[in-house]
Structures are given as C-alpha cells and as structure tokens.
Chain A
Amino acid sequence: MEDLDRRRQENCKSCGFSERGQVCGGNRITDETIEYVGILAKLELSPEEKERAKKDMGEMLDYIDKLNELDTKEVEPMSHVFPVNNVFREDVVTNGDDCENMLKNAPEVKERSYRVPKTVD
C-alpha cells in the first residue's frame, strides 16, 4: 500500500526530484533536500561537503533539465538500451554449498553467519 501511495506521490514539477510532495523551487537543492538525501544514503556530510554536494547536484539537475527542451510527448519511456528480452534460467539447482568461500566476504563471521551490528526493527 505504501508503494501504491508513492506512485501517486507528486514529485517537484520543475526538477522532478522528490521533495516529499513539495515544490523545491527551481533547480536549487535546498538544505532540507541535502539533509534528506544524506539520511537516505546513510552519509554524514560536513558543512563544507554539504555545500559542495548542493552545487554538484544542482549542476546535475541543470544538465538533466536540457532534456526538458525536447518534446517527448510521443516518446515511450525507455528503461533498457538493448533490444533484448526474455532471458531466462531453467529451474535447476546449479550452485552447491560454497559457504566457506562466501563467508570470506563477511566483515566478521560467527556461527557460519555474517556478524553485523545489532539491528532491530
């Protein structure tokens, strides 16, 4: 249901960037947006880094804005570049137990599991 809501949620009309339903006002990246993007990306930015990120993201949006100069009313949105579809696997087990090798990727291992900081809902 949450997903369905999100689909209905309006993004900013001018830049298309999610402003939690608000219009962000041109291509300017606001302090609130940077704060929010930081939370979503799990990044802690210093004040200087925030300013730089605001400028960089603003420029990216300006660049994307060039596309708005084109009339795309009749063009279907494209998600994939290559004219390939229906690539399938048959439902046959091909992988064995490679637990030992896989766990070499773990930050820490305990009881054949990936040991991570305590995470509760």
Chain B
Amino acid sequence: MLIKVILTGVFLLLSSVIIIQAQAQEQTKKDVLRIDSVQANFTQEKQLPILARPLISKGRFIFKAPDSLRWEYYSPIHTVLLMDDGRISKFVECKSGFVAEHGMGVDSMHVVLSEISSWLDGSIDDTPSFQVQSKSTDIIVLVPKESALKNIISRIELKLRGQTGLMESVTIHEGAGAFTRMVFTESVLNETHGSVAPKVFKKP
C-alpha cells in the first residue's frame, strides 16, 4: 500500500506533464502530435509544519511511450525509480553502489497505467482517480474522487508554462500546511536527436 501510494503520486506528477501536452494538442485539433517521449529536470520543495525550512530535492525524469519511465532523485538521496516495459523497480545509491529496494507493489503499475492511459486519451475530466475541480488558462486543479485518496492528497495544482503546453510546476497538497511543489525546467518533448536509449530504463 505504501509503495502504491508513492508510485501513484510519482506517476501522477509525470502524467500531469503528459496531460497538459495532450490537452494542448486536443485544443488545437489541427496537428495531433504523437507523444513519444518526455523528459525534464525538476526541483522539489517539500513543506511541512514540522520543518524549519523546506526540504529541497532535485532530480530528472524521462518517460518513453508506451510505458517506460526513469524517475531519478539526485539529492538529498540518490534514488532511481524505473518502469521498463511495465516492470517496476527501485534503487537507492549507497557506498557499494545502487541497491534494489524490495517489496514493490507490482499491482500499483496497473493503477498508474490506467491513469496515464486515460489522460493520453484526453480524458482529463474523467480519470479513474482524479477529476478537474477548476480550470483556467494556466492553472488546473485536480481533486481525488475517492475519500481514501483524499486522506492522502487533498488537491493537485498544475501550472502551465504559457501556451507551450508544457508544465511549469505541480503542487500536491496533503493538507494541514503540508505540500510538495515540483518545478520543471529544461523540458523536452519528443527528443529530436534520436529516440531515448533503452539503457536509460535499466538498472543503474
């Protein structure tokens, strides 16, 4: 359950980026662009009432359609979450190198993939877990459908970067002064210098 929650959150963030791109494409309805890959750096700010100051994490994610992902944190803890052709694994760097963390809930992948699939279909208003509460030109607010998920995430705010269709930031509110904000930079949609190398999604 723990891993399921974590993975769902992680993939939600990734998926959010894809959503906006898909939505932008749908809005134009002239040039439907196939999403082959998405990658970006991110800075994550975690704020909690208990924290004297935000906890800052930095990392990068790479997604390749249909279901390969590398979600990597460089600091403060170097971890790599991988989904390679649907198989999920997670590694943590220690002195001896990257060590696999066990106990992953493989079934969580199906939950996540169903979300991704729905969003890629342009069904942002009706995904299995979230629904749009409000939508403006540059901010979309999502709220959970299920009460169980509401106990974990109260809402998600997606901020767009102008008319590019790319995401500027995602803020996940957990309630009671706790939130996680991820700011994306150097986003690349559909790598033009060849496809993303398959080894990116292999054990580091």
Q: Is B one of A's binding partners?
A: no
Which B residues contact A (CB, under 8 angstroms)? none
Which A residues contact B (CB, under 8 angstroms)? none
